[in-house]
Amino acid sequence: MSAAAAMAAGSRREFDFAPADHQAIAKIVYDTLGILLPEGKAQLVYGRVAPRVRACGVASVSEYLRIVAQDDEERGRMLDALTTNHTSFFREAHHFEDFVERMWPTLAQRLASGGRVRLWSAACSSGEEPYTWLMAALGSDKNAAQRLLKGDLRLLATDVSPSVLDTARAGRYSADTLRTVPAKLRATWVDSRLTVDPLLRDAISFRPLNLLGPWPMKGRFDAICCRNVMIYFDEPTKAKLQGRLADHLETGGMLYIGHSERLSPDVAKRFECVGRTAYLKVRA
Ligand SMILES: C[S@@+](CC[C@H](N)C(=O)[O-])C[C@H]1O[C@@H](n2cnc3c(N)ncnc32)[C@H](O)[C@@H]1O
C-alpha cells in the first residue's frame, strides 16, 4: 500500500496507529517468530491487532504496545493474532501421493514387523495437514489401518500458535472445511458430528513449537512436511531452518516444502529433488 493510501485508511481507523507502532510490532514478530511484516503489511497488522486493542480497553496501538511490553500473556495473544494460519485438507495433495507411493510401503512393512515410524508436520496450523497425511497413508480400510495404528507410529504436529493447536486437537471441522476430503476417506475417518476419528487423533501429538527456538526432539524423522511457513521468513532464517530440518531427517527420508518455497543452495546439496517441492535426503 502506498503512503497516501495508508494515510487514507488511517483516517478511517478506530485506533491511532502510527508508522512507529507498525515498526515496533514488526520487530517483536520478527525477533520472536522470524516472520517479516514490511510496511506494505500495515493494514493487515492493524486489522489483526485492533481486536486486541479493543479487548484491552485502550485508545491507541501505542498504548496497547505498553501493555504488551509488560504482560507476556498479552504479548502471546498479539503474536498469535499475527500468524497467518491458512490451510486445508489435501492441500498440495501431490506430496501425500508421493509419500504413499515412495515411502509408505516400506514404512508400513516396518510397522507391521514391530519397527518405529516417525513423521513431523512442522507448522501444522489447525491440523488439516497431519490428518490428511494419515488419511492418505492409511486409506479407507479401517481394519488394516487399525492394525498398523497398534504399531509404533507417531506423527508429531507442531505450531507456534496455541489457538490453532486447540482446533487441531479437537479435530472438529465445518462441512465446508471437510469438502476437500475424498468421499471414501471422509466416510472412513470423519463421523456424523464432523469430528475426525479418535484413532487418528491419538496417533498425532500436537505440540507448541517455535521453529526458531530450541527443538526438544531427539530422534530423526522418516519424513517431514514443513510447508507454507518459510515464505514468511528471510533468506538466512530459511537457510538455518532448512539445515536443522535436514539434521532431523533420516538419510533416505523425505522433506516436503510449500509450492513457492525453495531449498537454499547449501541445504539442497544434501537432497535430491524427486518431485514438485519433494526432496529425498541423500547425504547426512
Ligand atoms: C500458512 S500456515 C501453513 C499450514 C500448513 N503447513 C499448510 O501448508 O497448509 C503457516 C503456519 O505457520 C505457523 N508459524 C509461523 N511462524 C512460525 C514459527 N516461527 N514457528 C512455528 N510455526 C510458525 C503459523 O502459526 C501458521 O499456522
Same fold, 3-82 and 94-281: no
| Maximum Cα–Cα distance across the chain | 66
Distances (CA, A) of 196 to 104, 124, 130, 175: 21, 16, 11, 12
| pLDDT tier at 9, thresholds 50, 70, 90 | low
Q: Provide mean pLDDT across the span 33-58.
A: 98
Distance of CA 273 from the midpoint of ligand 1 (Å): 23
Q: Provide mean pLDDT across the span 118-140.
A: 98
Res 3: pLDDT: 41
Question: Which CATH number, 3.40.50.300, 3.90.1150.10, 3.30.497.10, 3.40.50.150, labels domain 94-281?
Answer: 3.40.50.150
101, 274 Cβ separation under 8 angstroms: no
Distance of CA 122 from the midpoint of ligand 1 (Å): 8
pLDDT digits (tens, 9 = 90+) for 231-255: 999 999 999 999 999 999 999 999 9
The residue whose CA has the least distance to atom 9 of ligand 1 is 87
Give the nearest ligand 1 atom to 226 CA.
Answer: 6
pLDDT digits (tens, 9 = 90+) for 253-278: 999 999 999 999 999 999 999 999 99
Helical pair 142-149 and 104-112, crossing angle rounded to 10 deg: 60
Beta bridge pairs of residue 172 = 195
Res 12: pLDDT: 81
Burial-class residue 109 by CB neighbours within 10 Å (0-12, 13-18, 19+).
exposed
Which residue blocks in 123-233 are alpha helix, DSSP H? 128-138, 142-149, 162-170, 175-178, 183-189, 198-203
CATH architecture type of domain 3-82: Orthogonal Bundle (1.10)
Share of the chain above pLDDT 90, in %: 96
CB of 132 within 6 A of ligand 1: the answer is no
Q: Provide mean pLDDT across the span 5-34.
A: 86
CB of 129 within 6 A of ligand 1: the answer is yes
87, 81 Cβ separation under 8 angstroms: no
Query: Average model confidence (pLDDT) for the chain?
Result: 96
CB of 260 within 6 A of ligand 1: the answer is no
Which residue blocks in the chain are alpha helix, DSSP H? 3-11, 19-33, 42-55, 61-70, 72-82, 94-102, 104-112, 128-138, 142-149, 162-170, 175-178, 183-189, 198-203, 235-247, 265-268
Res 7: pLDDT: 47
Q: Which of 283, 284, 269, 208 is nearest to 239 (CA)?
A: 269
Taken in order 232, 238, 244, 249, the sign of the CA dihedral is: positive
CB of 126 within 6 A of ligand 1: the answer is no
| pLDDT tier at 34, thresholds 50, 70, 90 | very high
Q: Provide mean pLDDT across the span 56-61.
A: 96
Q: Cα separation of 231 and 279, whole Å?
A: 17
Least confident interval from 4-18, 33-47, 54-68, 146-160: 4-18
CB of 125 within 6 A of ligand 1: the answer is yes
Cite the active site residues.
48, 159
Res 2: pLDDT: 47
Q: Cα separation of 238 and 195, whole Å?
A: 35
Q: What is the DSSP letter of 40?
A: G
Q: Is the pLDDT of residue 141 over 90?
A: yes
Domain boundaries, the chain: 3-82, 94-281
pLDDT digits (tens, 9 = 90+) for 156-191: 999 999 999 999 999 999 999 999 999 999 999 999
The residue whose CA has the least distance to atom 13 of ligand 1 is 123
Distance of CA 159 from the midpoint of ligand 1 (Å): 6
pLDDT digits (tens, 9 = 90+) for 75-118: 999 999 999 999 999 999 999 999 999 999 999 999 999 999 99
Q: Cα separation of 163 and 124, whole Å?
A: 12
